Amino acid sequence: MEGKIGRVTALFLLVTLFSLSCSARESDRAPAASSDSSRATLFTERQSGQNVKQKAIHDALAARENAITRAVQKVAPAVVGVNVTQIQEYVASPFSEDPFFQFFFPGTRYRQEVKSLGSGFLISPDGYIVTNEHVVHNAIKIMVTMVAGKKYPAKLVGADYTTDLALLKIKGKNLPYCVLGNSDNVIVGEWAIALGNPFGLFEISRHPSVTVGVISGTHLNFGKQGGNRVYQDMLQTDASINPGNSGGPMADAVGEIMGVNTFIFTGGQYSEGSIGLGFAIPINRVKRVVADLKKYGKVNRQFWTGLEIDNINYLVARYFGLSSTNGVIVTNVKPNSPAERAGLRVGDIILAINGQTVHGTEDIWDILTNMDAKAGDVLQLKVFRKGKILRIPLRLAPLQQ
């Protein structure tokens, strides 16, 4: 009996020891599980924190974006730097200060290569580029630099000295290009964004410089300048335009091109920087010139009206009851001509064209030259006929061959 009780007691002790051992092992595992859970919680919190931080950064960047930054992102890839090697001529004479000897010894004419730079912008995915004519004038080599820094040799498709516009071409496909807007819809006071290569900074940053202002004025006519360039219907802006910006685009707040940055007023002979008076050729004028440059390599200025005119003398003025001899008289209207279609008649007195007073026949040609008249342009005529003043539009037609 005692032996049986001893065996039971021993068995009880073994079961108890085994239970305690299992409990200890479970107890050892518990901290590990707790540690894994803590690490998972920490990772989740960390990940959540990073997401919050990234969202905050994204929201901050989104808050900084506006119409101007979006327009720049749209236009900038199509802006190029234009590097040019030109030929310049100059005359050297030991008698340059003496008019008498200079007449007999005019000096020697020299030609030398000079480098200059400007801006331009792509207008099609196949590589057509618009810039100013003065940027590529007398060029023997033209290199174009894209935003990514890649350089292309450029071919001069055509240039027009009078309007100061040129069309270049580089080889390429699916190139970024600018969307051309409608300069007739430009509003004074709207944003004006000038992009380009001032002082060659494009070569350093591989990105066009951007200046911002507003449209300060529209339809500014400067007429024929000293170099026989004609700047008509210009856009004025206070966005800074500096040397090297010439030929670059002026964009609006939706990223469409309003004009080509061309020249500035500097305020005096000792100042060369921007003072807030910059001028751009309106893009609608650019479109018409580019169409001719693509087709002919130059601008076709040949047109006809079918009119024959003469000056008015005192007797003619008295006969028609005019108080002065200002104006020109129509002496012939050719059949089936633009003048006949406009309703002009022999004996009509043309007093003004496009609001400019006509004193004689020479004024007619000056007005047409200053407006850079071409086939398709419409002249607004002020006409005296039988004691009445008439307003007659006359559309110029292509010259008949």
The residues assigned a catalytic role are: 134, 164, 246
Grouping H, G, I as helix, E, B as strand and the rest as coil, residue 173 is: coil
Q: Round to whole Å and give the CA distance between 105 and 94.
A: 9
DSSP at 193: E
Tokens of 208: 């066009």
The pairs formed by 202-208 with CB atoms below 8 angstroms and a separation of 24 or more are 202/81, 202/119, 202/145, 202/244, 203/81, 203/83, 203/145, 206/145, 206/147, 206/148, 206/149, 207/76, 207/147, 208/76, 208/79, 208/81, 208/119, 208/147, 208/248
Find residue 110's DSSP bridge partners: 90
- Burial string for 30-51 (b: 16+ CB within 10 Å, else e) reads eeeeeeeeeeeeeeeeeeeeee
Q: How does DSSP assign 273-297, residue by residue?
A: S--S-EEEEEHHHHHHHHHHHHHHS
Q: Round to whole Å and give the CA distance between 53 and 157.
A: 53
Q: Round to whole Å and give the CA distance between 2 and 394.
A: 140
